[in-house]
Chain A
Amino acid sequence: MKKPVRIFQTVNRWLLLILFVTGVQQISYGQCAQALRSARTAYDEGQLQRIPALIESCLAEKEGKGGFSDEERTEAYRLLILAHIFTDEPTKADEAMLALLKFNPQFQINEDADPAELINLYGTFRTKPVFLYGGKIEANYTLIDVLEFYGLHSLSNTNGSYEGNVSIGGALVIEKPLFGKLSGRAELAFASNQFTYTNNFLNDVGGAEIAELEAVETQNWIALRVLGEYEVYKNENMTLLAAFGPSIQYLFLADVGAETLITGGEPGQGPDIDLTSSGKDMRETLLLGINAGIGLKRKLGKNYFIADLRYSYGIGNITKKNYDNELNWRYGMALNNIRLNTLTVSLGLIFPKYSPKKLNR
């Protein structure tokens, strides 16, 4: 019969402890809120010498463990900086600004309302992120330029054409502000391209005549893109960017599946053929490209939502070999010389990494 009583006592002790800790924290929050109000009044009345003593003990409290809320802490640092500025304590003002930027790297001055001295001091610190990192999902639409047709039939009668398909990829993104409105971006992407080649012709394949061919090719690439980005327009929450730069990509899979319609017979569909296998090696594995596009960067909390619309122009022919026995005999098909271009829409999220410091000027 004693056990339930003991359990109650233990629970009660814990409850009391929690209530005590919570209560102490509430008192601490309340005291610091009051201290901030007093500091605000002291600043307004020009009693600057009082400000450090009013708020420094609350600033010394660990974040989230009593003391100021995040907003109050930012305001307290701002008041402390102003107090040091106007009492001619530049070193202390620098220290307080650095502490503020370390606590809240996204602190923004108000150009219209803040004192010029604060704006000037803020300008002497590195306040932009040193880099941003994140990822994005890409939808690629493939655009093929034919350089030269190849076939097993009379090329004078060929009606071959390409149609792009949409395929999905993704990229890791790292971005670094360079100077002024210019920043650099590197992307390591898994990029997929897919396109459909259709052709109508007559050809004798093993005694049967192929009348129609539809071949779907899927290519998977690892791409490295390096782009310069220029801020075309910027407001408080959004930046519009123009991007330009080269890319290099490595092809690790090119898979073609085809369907043929034979005159007077059933449609034929064979297994997919890997064009990059060691026996075939029909596609170039390295592709250079030029990328151009526009991008949007929008603040999302402390991070940034990014959206890009980009065109990638593939440099050169991606076909290494035009003929292969399996491809020829199974589908009556040869590979044309083509250039691979891509229109990409991407959406992603990037996270800023700050490292505030006093700039040497």
Chain B
Amino acid sequence: MTEVISSVNRINDFSLSQDGQWLIAVTQVGETNATGEVVLYDLEDGYSASVIHKHRRALLATGIGNDNSVAIGDVDGLIKVFKLFSNDTPSDLIGHTSEIDQIEFSADGRFIATASKDKTVKLWNRKEPNTQPINLKDHPTWVWTIAFSPDNNQILAGTQESVVRSWPTTIEAMSDEICGQIDRNLSKDEWTLFVSEDIEYEKTCENIPDGE
């Protein structure tokens, strides 16, 4: 065993970049009204540390994507996303109302999934960061932990009451689940109401009747 990092502040979470060179740690600075820091460790330079972001609230979770995008989550439920070594302003993902417990990037680059004590998992579309996330909210208690399936078609969510739930993340996976339980497709009026009038009507489930 070798001690590689010794931090003066409490490290609440860390993630390793895909190439194994960078370690991103999120910390809590102080106790009452704690603030947070994002610390970047260079593993190829003897774990040399540099603070790359200071946050007004304690940071609890972080995740790092294949393209070195970093997401951090704080005690108030705010998510910030930025790219390593980029000068772009971090974007805020607003929606959670409680502590962020875990952040995961899907390997196919489509989603950032965030788990929170507000009893929800949110799937943020990385291509359209300004749209509302898919809100997986049927959890009776805090969501502790999440993980994508290897094919990224499912996300698993573990909650405080010791239950793990699986949710589909693709239309195909969702329709596979839904089509077996319904006896008709949406009507065009329903499509306009619940999907969008800008999107052309299509049958969700091929093997069951139209909704007309």
Q: Are A49 and B117 in contact (CB under 8 A)?
A: no
| A45 interface hit (Cβ, 8 Å) | yes
- B contact residues around A88 at 8 Å (CB): 10, 12
| B99 interface hit (Cβ, 8 Å) | yes
- From DSSP, what is the main secondary structure of chain A's interface residues? loop
How long is the Cα–Cα vector from A47 to B99 in the complex, in angstroms? 6
| A268 interface hit (Cβ, 8 Å) | no
| A115 interface hit (Cβ, 8 Å) | yes
| A48 interface hit (Cβ, 8 Å) | yes
How long is the Cα–Cα vector from A88 to B34 in the complex, in angstroms? 13
| A46 interface hit (Cβ, 8 Å) | yes
Question: What 1/0 flags go to A85-99 for Cβ under 8 Å of B?
Answer: 010110000000000
| B37 interface hit (Cβ, 8 Å) | no
| B50 interface hit (Cβ, 8 Å) | no
How long is the Cα–Cα vector from A115 to B162 in the complex, in angstroms? 10
Quick one: which of B10, B12, B58, B119 contacts A46, CB cutoff 8 A?
A: B119
Quick one: which of A47, A49, A89, A115 contacts B97, CB cutoff 8 A?
A: A47
Q: Are A45 and B117 in contact (CB under 8 A)?
A: yes
- Among A47, A48, A88, find the residue whose CB has the most chain B CB atoms closer than 10 A: A47
Question: What 1/0 flags go to B115-153 for Cβ under 8 Å of A?
Answer: 011110000000000000000000000100000000000
Q: Are A47 and B160 in contact (CB under 8 A)?
A: no
Q: Number of A interface residues, CB 8 Å? A: 9
| B75 interface hit (Cβ, 8 Å) | yes
- A contact residues around B118 at 8 Å (CB): 45-46
Closest to A47 in B: B98
- A contact residues around B75 at 8 Å (CB): 49
Q: Number of B interface residues, CB 8 Å? A: 15
Quick one: which of B12, B99, B142, B160 contacts A49, CB cutoff 8 A?
A: B99
Question: What 1/0 flags go to B1-32 for Cβ under 8 Å of A?
Answer: 00000000010100000000000000000010
- A contact residues around B10 at 8 Å (CB): 88
- B contact residues around A47 at 8 Å (CB): 97-99, 117
Closest chain B CB from A60 CB (angstroms): 15
How long is the Cα–Cα vector from A86 to B141 in the complex, in angstroms? 13
- A contact residues around B119 at 8 Å (CB): 45-46
Quick one: which of A46, A89, A115 contacts B117, CB cutoff 8 A?
A: A46
- A contact residues around B160 at 8 Å (CB): 115
- B contact residues around A115 at 8 Å (CB): 160
- B contact residues around A89 at 8 Å (CB): 31
How long is the Cα–Cα vector from A88 to B60 in the complex, in angstroms? 11
Question: What 1/0 flags go to A47-80 for Cβ under 8 Å of B?
Answer: 1110000000000000000000000000000000
- A contact residues around B98 at 8 Å (CB): 45-48
How long is the Cα–Cα vector from A47 to B119 in the complex, in angstroms? 11
Closest chain A CB from B73 CB (angstroms): 12
- A contact residues around B117 at 8 Å (CB): 45-48, 86
Question: What 1/0 flags go to A212-230 for Cβ under 8 Å of B?
Answer: 0000000000000000000
- Among B10, B97, B117, B119, find the residue whose CB has the most chain A CB atoms closer than 10 A: B117
- A contact residues around B12 at 8 Å (CB): 88
Closest chain A CB from B21 CB (angstroms): 28
Question: What 1/0 flags go to A80-122 for Cβ under 8 Å of B?
Answer: 0000001011000000000000000000000000010000000
How long is the Cα–Cα vector from A48 to B28 in the complex, in angstroms? 15
Closest chain A CB from B157 CB (angstroms): 14
Closest chain B CB from A299 CB (angstroms): 31
Interface residues of A in 8-53 (CB under 8 A from B): 45-49
- B contact residues around A45 at 8 Å (CB): 97-98, 117-119
- Among B12, B75, B76, find the residue whose CB has the most chain A CB atoms closer than 10 A: B75
How long is the Cα–Cα vector from A47 to B57 in the complex, in angstroms? 13
- A contact residues around B31 at 8 Å (CB): 89
How long is the Cα–Cα vector from A107 to B152 in the complex, in angstroms? 47
Closest chain A CB from B54 CB (angstroms): 18
- A contact residues around B97 at 8 Å (CB): 45, 47
- A contact residues around B99 at 8 Å (CB): 46-49
Q: Apart from A46-B116, A48-B117, A88-B12, what are 8 other A-B pairs with CB-CB below 8 Å?
A: A45-B97, A46-B98, A46-B119, A47-B97, A48-B98, A48-B99, A88-B10, A115-B160
A–B pairs, 16, beta carbons within 8 Å: A45-B97, A45-B98, A46-B98, A46-B116, A46-B117, A46-B119, A47-B97, A47-B98, A47-B99, A48-B117, A49-B58, A49-B76, A49-B99, A88-B10, A89-B31, A115-B160
- Sorted nearest first, the 9 A-B pairs with minimum C-beta distance are A46-B117, A46-B98, A49-B75, A46-B142, A47-B98, A46-B118, A45-B98, A46-B99, A45-B118
Binding site for B on A (CB under 8 A): 45-49, 86, 88-89, 115
